[in-house]
Structure 1
Amino acid sequence: MNGQGGQPGNRPGRDDSPDRLYTLTGGRSRSAPDNPFDLVTLVVAECDPVPGMQSEHAAILRLAERPTAVVEVAAVLRLPVGITKVLLADLLAAGRVSARHPRRTAVTDPDILEQVLVGLRNL
């Protein structure tokens, strides 16, 4: 057991071999500063996987047939979010995915805000 109460080896990305992660990203541990991806960015595949493509890239394209959040892609692939962002940046640069942020709607109705506050207090 680890200190988190889970089984050892069940932590996505943290128990992966550093060599494997290094290989996946070509040695890059962070994507470029202008990378448009954050945890809630929605990724959409612009094409199907092609033969010979890196397996993680192909998996991302299959996952992103419908808009999928970056954090969900990372969780399904069991990779750290930073590594996932590097892979997504590669696909974006190649025109294989597009990225968009979910629409934000401001909640200004006081009744809804009150219900949210009550719900949070009940947690």
Structure 2
Amino acid sequence: MTTPSDDDLEPPVDPLEPEYVELVRPYVITNGRDVSDTSRFELITLVTAADDTQRKAHLDPEKRELVTLCEGGYLSVAEIAGHLKLPVGIVKVLLVDLVENGLILTRRPIPPAQLADIQVLQEVLDGLQARFG
């Protein structure tokens, strides 16, 4: 009969260790929901916490962390996923739940400015050169 060596014995898993937390599967975080309902969120959609965040105490840990993260101002969906170290699809599912409960607010990103007409810019430049030499 052989006795196991010290290398064969593994210490018990501490549920508070980061390695254990990473073992939680994404479908557990989303309660088995699919990401098909998340098309309204783009990577650059901006998200912030609503003023009424008193109800966040009854949320799942991931949703509570997301709301707390967004209390500081607007963050994009991609930034939230990076801070939470979760896949973007999972973050989108959590965002759908939080929007429906009124805990977060979203807005589309500010569109890029449209380019001015080259002809108008040239006329302004010509006018300035004629006036100031």
SS at match of 1:99: strand
Question: How many angstroms does 1:55 deviate by?
Answer: 0.8
Gapped regions of structure 2 (runs ≥ 5): 1-21, 119-133
Question: How many angstroms does 1:107 deviate by?
Answer: 4.7
SS at match of 2:42: coil
1:87 equivalent in alignment to 2:94: yes
Cα distance in 2 between the residues matched to 1:78 and 1:108: 37
* Superimposed CA distance per residue, residues 66-102 of structure 1 (whole angstroms, 9 cap, x where no aligned partner): 1110000000111110010000000001111111111
SS at match of 1:50: helix
1:72 equivalent in alignment to 2:76: no
- Please report the TM-score for the alignment, with normalisation by the length of structure 1: 0.66
1:98 equivalent in alignment to 2:98: no
Q: Which has the larger radius of gyration?
A: 2
- Please report the TM-score for the alignment, with normalisation by the length of structure 2: 0.62
Aligned residues: 93
Among 19, 23, 28, the alignment partner of 1:23 is 28
SS at match of 2:113: coil
Cα distance in 1 between the residues matched to 2:27 and 2:112: 39
* Superimposed CA distance per residue, residues 42-68 of structure 1 (whole angstroms, 9 cap, x where no aligned partner): 001113263231111111111111111
Could you tell me whether the CA contact under 8 Å between 1:31 and 1:85 is conserved in 2?
A: no
Residue 45 of structure 1 corresponds to 49
1:32 equivalent in alignment to 2:42: no
Percent same amino acid at aligned positions?
Answer: 37
Letter in 1 for 2:88: V
Residue 10 of structure 1 corresponds to none
User: Moved runs in structure 1, 4+ residues, more than 4 A?
Assistant: none
Q: What value does the CA root-mean-square deviation take over the aligned residues?
A: 1.9
